[in-house]
Chains A and B, each alone.
Chain A
Amino acid sequence: MTVQIRSRWRYRRLLAIFWRNTLATEMEYRVNFWSNLVLSTFWLGWAALGIRVYFRFTTSVRGWTYAEMLIVVGLFFALNGVRQALITPNLARMTEYVRDGTLDFLLTKPVNSQFMVSFRHIGVFNWLDPVLGLILAFTGLIATDQPVTVGSIALFLGAFLCAIVILYAVSLAMMSLSLRSVSSEGVDDLLQGLVETSRLPVQIYRGALRTVFSVVLPVALFTTVPTQVALGQRGAAWVALAAGVAIVANVVASALWRVALRGYTGASG
């Protein structure tokens, strides 16, 4: 037990060290810091206004009003921000790791390899995106005149947290993939594409695509379900389902990573 606590401590300290280094390095470019702030706000407005065009001709698309869709867009923005801040900086480096031998170096560390490749870097300039996205989501929520309670907000945030954890699992699975003959920049494009599809509620999609996005891929759980939870259209059972999916996805992704790693250490000379 004490060993476990101590090791948990160690991981937390490692994180602090990794991220502080990144912060310091990135802040070298001071103008970047400010301009990225401007850029984040710009893209948020872009996302909110981009879907406005549809509502020039109608008040609701597939049962979604503009205010409701703003919640989805806000969550998308927040989730995409998490992707850019936490996932991409690590995912995009996988090819480089393999290329310059850093991966071998990481594997020799007495620390869980999955942890090392997943959390070594952060993108400091998107840290505000999740905050901005959530602000937009709450703005949308207030605009819907939906009664907001502490309970509904807790469920909503819980559902969104599950979305983040699921996204992490997907990215880890993709990282495992990029150990094999795929450039990880491309894998990041794919992940971005997947998150992009959650910019809009899944009800927008039709036919087979909708089935794929709601059943096969966890797109519905990214933004649509949390929004519906906030709107009171879906209950706690859905949050529990999301949590279940998050756990299973992580177990599977972790296993995939180990398999890929075995293939990697076996193949490289």
Chain B
Amino acid sequence: MIEVEGLARHFRVSHRDAGLGSSLKALLHRRYELVRAVDDVSFRIDDGEVVGFLGPNGAGKTTTLKCLAGLLYPTHGTVRVLGFTPNERRAEFLSRITFVMGQRNQLFWDLPTIESLRVNQAIYRIGDTQFKESLDELVDLLGLEPLLTKQVRMLSLGERMRCELAAGLLHRPDVLFLDEPTLGLDVRGQGAVRSFIAEYNQRHGATVLLTSHYMADVTSLAKRVVLIDHGVLRYDGDLADLVEQAAPFRLVTVTLSDPVESGVFAGYGEVIESDGTHAVMRVPRAATRDVASRLLAELPVVDVSIEEPSIEDTMRTVFDQRATDAVSVDAARE
């Protein structure tokens, strides 16, 4: 269980302009600025939930995760994870969570992967039987068999990420913080990581909070999403509802056999693009069926299709709307 109440995290960041002259000047004097990386975030995640944590770069996602994992003190607000206060960094707490960062390497570079896993066995105090069982499971799910005895520096990025996950999950944590676990991986690599996370969640009922730039990660893993932008919570709820709420329309595309006057389309919906024989329109959800049948009845239709707007588009709509009325325009620190 994760409870976040009124979480805020501010940083003091130094500023300097580009160029050699200003770096010389900065040797003597430096300007500072307060950055509100996270300003007011509250949410609650139940055991076993998988939640996608979304937001543009610098929105405050990583900062929030760091507060949850105990790497940072909150400036304001409270955070509870599994009943612990993370920043106390109790060993019992650390033994029950994991924080996998896609860009960071915790494996010993010059040694075979198995060595890093053995060290984690000692550090997390995993008994031999449990180690074997856990390792077998990970080897099976992640296809690690040929990788264990290879030096980490010899692994490809995708292979290394699978090993990272194994190292991070060897101690069977109850809570997983995954920051961009698929970053830089090819489609197959992404798929492997994704299905692994889903499987792990199913088998062990672990709670997962994950950030990703790849929307497919989120749509395939998480039913619930938390949206954060400029350090403020924008949305918390069902992924399907988000689409409904943020984009209460569908896209209707028609192709005609004979050209009509372009003004004609305006009678059916908000026209996004059109030439004489082809048009894309936004139509309110409730009216979609109605509009489609009118189109078929009234125009020489060759083809008509109705689509949900993509998640990417929806998100963009959400963030664009809010950016204009956002109070803080600082680039938050990740």
Contact = CB atoms under 8 A, between A and B. Distances in A.
Contact between chain A and chain B defined by CB under 8 Å: yes
Contacts of A145: none
A20 B24 CA distance: 12
B26 interface: yes
Nearest to B28: A30
A151 to B, nearest CB: 39
Q: Which 8 A-B pairs have the closest CB atoms?
A: A27-B23, A30-B27, A24-B23, A33-B27, A24-B20, A27-B27, A20-B20, A30-B26
11 contacts: A23-B20, A24-B18, A24-B20, A24-B23, A27-B23, A27-B26, A27-B27, A28-B26, A30-B26, A30-B30, A99-B153
| Most chain B CB within a 10 A radius of its CB, from A20, A24, A34 | A24
A28 B24 CA distance: 9
A180 to B, nearest CB: 15
Interface in B74-126: 109
A27 B24 contact: yes
Interface residues of B, number: 12
Contacts of A20: 20
Contacts of B16: 28
Nearest to A33: B27
A99 B26 CA distance: 34
A33 B153 CA distance: 34
Nearest to A27: B23
A172 B26 CA distance: 35
Contacts of A28: 16, 23, 26
A51 B149 CA distance: 50
Contacts of A34: 27
Interface in B13-40: 16, 18-20, 23-24, 26-28, 30
A150 B50 CA distance: 79
Interface of B: 16, 18-20, 23-24, 26-28, 30, 109, 153
B154 to A, nearest CB: 10
A28 B16 CA distance: 9
A86 B184 CA distance: 34
A20 B21 CA distance: 11
B128 to A, nearest CB: 33
Nearest to A99: B153
Contacts of B19: 24
Nearest to B153: A99
A99 B19 CA distance: 30
A146 to B, nearest CB: 40
| Most chain A CB within a 10 A radius of its CB, from B16, B23, B26, B109 | B23
Contacts of B23: 23-24, 27-28
A24 B24 CA distance: 8
A99 B109 CA distance: 10
A99 B154 CA distance: 9
Nearest to B27: A30
Contacts of A24: 18-20, 23
Interface in A199-245: none
Contacts of B28: 30
Contacts of A23: 20, 23
A253 B153 CA distance: 28
Nearest to B110: A183
A169 to B, nearest CB: 29
A97 B24 CA distance: 29
Interface in A77-100: 99
| Most chain B CB within a 10 A radius of its CB, from A23, A30, A34, A99 | A30
B320 to A, nearest CB: 34
Nearest to A95: B153
Given A27-B24, A28-B16, A28-B23, 10 more contacts: A23-B23, A24-B18, A24-B19, A24-B20, A27-B27, A28-B26, A30-B27, A30-B30, A33-B27, A99-B109
A129 B95 CA distance: 49
A23 B23 CA distance: 9
B272 to A, nearest CB: 42
Contacts of A30: 26-28, 30
A242 B24 CA distance: 39
Contacts of B153: 99
Interface string A5-30: 00000000000000010011001101
A27 B27 CA distance: 7
Nearest to A29: B27
Nearest to B16: A28
A237 B305 CA distance: 90
Contacts of B18: 24
Nearest to B30: A30
Contacts of B26: 27-28, 30
A20 B109 CA distance: 32
Contacts of B24: 27
Nearest to B24: A27
A95 to B, nearest CB: 9
A24 B26 CA distance: 10
Interface in A18-51: 20, 23-24, 27-28, 30, 33-34
A23 B19 CA distance: 10
| Most chain A CB within a 10 A radius of its CB, from B27, B30, B109 | B27
A47 B20 CA distance: 33
A136 B182 CA distance: 56
A33 B23 CA distance: 12
